[in-house]
Structure 1
Amino acid sequence: MLAGIASMLCCQRGPAWHGEQKLIILGIDGMDPQLLKRFMQEGKMPNFARLAEQGSFRLLASSIPPQSPVAWSNLMTGMDAGGHGIFDFIHRDPKTLQPYFSASRVEGPKRALHLGSWVIPLGGGSAEQLRRGRAFWEILDEHGVPNTIFRIPANFPPVPAKGQTLSGMGTPDLRGTYGTFSFYTDDPTTAAGSVEGGQVIPVQVENSKVTANLIGPDNTFRKGSPPATELFSVAVDPLESVAKFAVQGQEFLLREGEWSDWVRVEFQLIPVFGNVKGMCRFYLKQAHPRFQLYVSPMNIDPSDPALPISTPAKYSRMLSEEAGEFHTQGIAEDTKARSDGMLDDQEYLEQAQAVLAEHRRIFDAEFPKFQ
């Protein structure tokens, strides 16, 4: 997984930067240096070999414990886990023993007025960054050094910054999870209910038509906070392996084995006042003899984010306008759908390559600005 950390001018003391030297830091999560060394020697990674020849290639010890959010937090703050407070992907609340994401916490309003089945919040919710310490780009800001921080892990919600930042690994989907897919099928051999990374939803094909709900965020305006849902329908061609989808006035055709573009979905939480926008992709795995449909995790819409994912807030909207829509979910490659058997190797590869293509489009749009 690539994480383009920073494109910035080199730092010096003082309130403003007047230098010309520029620096790019590229971070790659989970890259094994021994494998990299072997691949460079075998000629499989010539660009990395050229970087090593022009500069240096040295081994560094990882964090303790060697977990991604811990290591990235070390890099960002210059402290170890005892300083920044991130020890793993998951922490537990000692009062309730409930697990929560180590680097951030999204909470609803603390006070509310209950009116029948409705819950009227008295105040707003919050997305809290739990990492302690100052990120290095906060120090760059103080010295007037321009910087762009792109998809660095463990930076959701992004810390306030003068530069442009986009959150990466650790950014939840619209449901507040690390990524929950949905799989719709009329196959009785596929057990309904929750699987490790998603949810299997049974459907019926009646008169060549399927009607089901897309699952959105918990509706905190309702008693018990049930998930918000929005209806969609699928008209399956009785002869050909093709289907017509209808989602909130949007219609599109998919052949068996075809992916949709991003589809925007607006979830109504409370009439008139409270709507939340997300987006997802559809994959028609099979039309006949059994209906099988994969729907990606509902991502935060970068053009109208329901949660803070960038600084300034308009930066994610600008990126989507310049480079097209993209996954905002921190770990977008759906390995859980693959391990659960909802996607096979080729289907997973197509999904992962689509994520990479988005990153490359954003890079192509942003890198000329650095030059």
Structure 2
Amino acid sequence: MMKKCLLLLSIAATTAGCQSGPDSKPAGPKVIVLGFDGLDYGLTKKLMDEGRMPNFSKLAKSGSFGPLETSVPPQSPVAWSDFMTGLDSGGHGIFDFLHRDADTMIPFSSTSRASDAGSTLTIGKYQFPLSGGTIELLRKGRAFWEVLENHGFQTTILRMPANFPPSGTASYELSGMGTTDITGSPGEFSFYTSKLFAFAGEDITGGDVYEVDIFDDVVEAKLYGPDNPFLVEREKLTSEFTVYLDPVDPVVKIVAGDQELMLEEGEFSDWVPVEFPMIPTQSLAGMTRFYLRSVRPDFELYASPVNFDPMAPAAPISTPDDYAAELAAATGRFYTQGMPEDTKVVDGGVLTVDEFLAQAEIAGREIREQYAYVLGQFDEGLLFYYTGNVDQVSHVMWKTLDPDHPNYDPETDPQYEDLIPSLYVGLDEMVGETLENMDEETMLIVMSDHGFASWRRSFHLNAWLKEKGYLTVKDPDMKTDPGLFVNVDWTQTQAYALGINGLYINLRGREQNGIVTEGERQALIDRICEDLLAEIDPVTETNAVTKAYKRDEYYQDRGEIEIGPDIIVGYAKGTRGAGASALGAVGKEVLTDNTEEWSGDHLMDHETVPGILLTSRVLKKSAPRLKDLAAAILAEFGIDEPINIKVKAKAKAKSIDE
């Protein structure tokens, strides 16, 4: 996993800020691209037909509207990398949220890699790095906006997923999905409570619960950061804060450093800047939002993941380096964490659905307010602006659209049945705002990376491999498999799964303990694909898997193909890979009902979850697939050249129809 002290030492130097380009730009086309993560074609069309998205309908009449074929697999970092580069995974090297180190079998983030500083000077308990740590963007290939910049067009790229740290090749950039919190994780919340044994026995992920004591109506607590890189013996950085409870009213005063704020029960704070002292002369800057859930009988306080402070970011999050501060100065501090909607608080019951929705609404409002400023500044070239708010809320709330979902609650869920449609309507208003503020010469493109579906059934891929004899465990009686392949007997395992859609052959000479020879590999792949496509879900009595993509046959681009899974599993619509299996656990059952709060998804057969493409004019160059869209955008600027050099290969996904 990403090393958590990476973000502290001279990291801003790892990306040279690209200035705003030549003093004189050529007069030419202007294009605005709105990237709406997870906007589903079917639901969008339904709402348009009902008259609830008039601005979408207006665009469709003047230009075009239709489904946009997504990536394989239809995961956001894969899909957006397809869009950026015009390459598939074989070329840009992003195959999943997670990849594995074949030498250690340890998973790591697919989009970026962090490294500590090199040599150090040790003095007593302190060590002083002689060079800075680094964060490396793992996506390969040239992004399409680099072509535009080379032709003299200014580009502004805000929150593009899989672009952390920023590429440095646009005039202006702000990183998005993939940007960590201050600890180097995707986002770790903190929850403080005076209740004894709170959440005992619960599987809390995505954060930590801390029991605190109350003395004379005062709570002393800490926020936790990454390891202190200046200490020889590693120790977590901390930032202390104090909470003063009103003895009568449900209100508190929080003091964090030189910041003081009052909070009432049920209220979120504004952003609170905090500092984590490292050595007497240096501190790490961050910021958090507090939410006061309860004062009594039990004290309960939520703190968001500690985000990079855009006014003083401890990691490279923008191009130029001070662009994040410019945005914050214009519209206020904002979530720099790549996926700000804190879905994990619902999974463990730390916050209620309504509390999660309130937090997600704050994150979405920040995006909208910042867009108004950015749109007002835009006067040339390309503007790309992304929001993932609908995607993240849909993951949690999709069951409210599906009364047949195993986790649907007929008592509480009907009140939310219009929640997701109302978010779509909000995006329609964002399009309307754009139309009001752009001239007739500007081209507007609205697109999404994939669609959405109800996630009713979970497919435990490693359990299936065990059942079919492709994987062997050390202890068949292990009650709870912690994952990371600790229970896998590699000496008798031919294949294993990591990530939601990835299946790997345990190949000799590639995997740490590989047993399958290169000569045996293809026949084994063929046999596994046939078995996957023959698997019938006993509950639905339909195929559990409808596509089995053979890596070497499906992907057209070859430069990075060797790091990918040997097989990409396309689950049937309504079925998704189980999260435990994705992290290397081997479960007892192959197919189970999904009873998690995370009720909607898209990591399925890519043909079942298309995104959308909506344009104010008919494109000069057609873009039926997500990976075609970058070239179509270049064509709007009169540019006809390859974004990246491609190596072709035959392409065919084996499906149940064959």
Structure 2 vs 1, CA of residues 131 and 111 (structure 1 numbering), >3 Å: closer, same or farther?
same
Once the two structures are overlaid, the 10-residue window that deviates more, 315-324 or 60-69, is 60-69
Output the CA distance in 2 between the equivalents of 1:300 and 1:253: 23
| Bigger shift: residues 31-40 or 294-303 | 31-40
1:226 maps to 235
| Alpha-carbon separation, structure 2, partners of 1:194 and 1:302 | 32
Query: How far 1:120 moved relative to its partner?
Result: 2.1
State the Cα deviation string for residues 292-320 of structure 1 (Å, max 9, x = none).
00000000000111000000001001000
Residues 49-198 of structure 1 mapped to structure 2, 5 A cutoff: 49-191=57-199, 195-198=204-207
State whether structure 2 residue 323 is matched by structure 1 residue 315. yes
| Structure 1, unpaired ranges of 5+ | 1-15
**Partner residue of 2:540?**
none
Name the counterpart of 2:296.
288
Q: 1 or 2, which has the higher helix percentage?
A: 2
Q: Secondary structure at the match of 2:226?
A: strand
The 1:194–1:222 alpha-carbon spacing in structure 2 relative to 1, beyond 3 Å, is farther
Letter paired with 1:294:
Y
Q: Counterpart of 1:8?
A: none
User: Within the alignment, does 1:253 sit opposite 2:262 as a pair?
Assistant: yes
Q: Does 1:209 align with 2:218?
A: yes
Instruction: Determine the C-alpha separation between the residues in 2 that align with 1:162 and 1:27.
Output: 17
Number of residues paired by the alignment? Answer: 355
Question: Which of these residues, 7, 20, 26, is aligned with residue 18 of structure 1?
Answer: 26
CA distance in 1, matches of 2:156, 2:73: 28
CA distance in 2, matches of 1:93, 1:219: 26
Partner residue in 2 for 1:266: 275
| 1:17 Cα offset (Å) | 5.1
- For 2:367, the equivalent position in structure 1 comes to 359
Residue type at the aligned position of 2:177: M
In 1: Cα distance, 2:228 partner to 2:101 partner = 23
Between stretches 47-56 and 176-185, larger displacement belongs to: 47-56
Between stretches 352-361 and 72-81, larger displacement belongs to 352-361
Question: Whole-Å Cα distance in 2 between the matches of residues 364 and 77 of structure 1?
Answer: 28
Distance (Å, rounded) in 2 between the aligned partners of 1:140 and 1:322: 27
Counterpart of 2:331, as a letter, is A
**304, 308, 314: which is aligned to 1:300?**
308
CA distance in 2, matches of 1:306, 1:68: 25
- Aligned-pair CA distance for 1:95: 2.6
| 184-193 or 240-249: bigger deviation | 184-193
Classify the secondary structure of the residue corresponding to 2:99. strand
1:104 deviation in Å? 0.6
Name the CA distance, whole Å, in 2 between partners of 1:356 and 1:162.
Answer: 25
TM-score by length of 2: 0.53
1:155 to partner: Cα distance? 0.4
Q: Identify the residue that residue 34 of structure 1 maps to in structure 2.
A: 42
Pair 1:114–1:94, CA change in 2 (3 A): farther
What letter is aligned with 1:252? L
1:341 and 2:349 aligned: yes
CA distance in structure 2 between the aligned counterparts of 1:33 and 1:213, rounded to whole angstroms: 45
Structure 2 counterpart SS, 1:74: helix
CA displacement at 1:361 relative to structure 2 = 1.5
Change (3 A) 1:69 1:349: same
Counterparts of 2:279 and 2:98, CA distance in 1 = 32
The residue number in structure 2 matching 1:243 is: 252
- Which deviates further from its counterpart, 25-34 or 110-119? 110-119
Q: Which piece of structure 1 moves more, 65-74 or 107-116?
A: 107-116
Deviation at 1:94, TM superposition (A): 2.3
Percent identical residues:
48
Ranges in structure 2 where 5+ consecutive residues have no aligned partner: 1-23, 380-658
For residue 234 of structure 2, what is the amino acid of its counterpart?
A: S
CA distance in 1 between counterparts of 2:363 and 2:284 reads 23
Inter-partner Cα distance in structure 2 for 1:68 and 1:224: 38
Paired letter, 2:42 = Q
Task: Say whether the 8 Å CA contact 1:234–1:243 is kept in structure 2.
Answer: yes
Contact 2:162 2:177 in 1 (8 A): yes
Which structure shows the higher strand fraction? 1
Secondary structure in 1 aligned to 2:239?
strand
Give the whole-Å Cα distance in 1 for the aligned partners of 2:193 and 2:280.
31
- If the length of structure 1 is used for normalisation, what is the TM-score? 0.92
CA deviations over 1:256-306 (Å, ceiling 9, x no partner):
11111110011111221x321000011110000000000000000001110
Amino acid at match of 1:254: L
Could you list the per-position Cα deviations for residues 216-236 of structure 1 after superposition, in whole angstroms to 9, with x for gaps in the alignment? Answer: 222122234322001111111
Matched position secondary structure for 1:352: helix
Conserved 8 A contact 2:136-2:165: yes
CA positional deviation for 1:58 = 2.1
Find out whether 1:47 has 2:63 as its counterpart.
no
Distance 1:125 1:115 in 2: 20
Q: Distance in 2 between matches of 1:97 and 1:112?
A: 29
Task: Write out per-residue CA displacement over residues 146-200 of structure 1, whole angstroms, 9 at most, x where no aligned residue.
Answer: 1100111000000122510101111101111111000000112413698211000
CA contact (8 A) 1:17 1:143 kept: no
Q: Is the contact between residue 76 and residue 136 of structure 1 (CA under 8 Å) also seen in structure 2? A: yes
Secondary structure at the residue paired with 1:245? strand
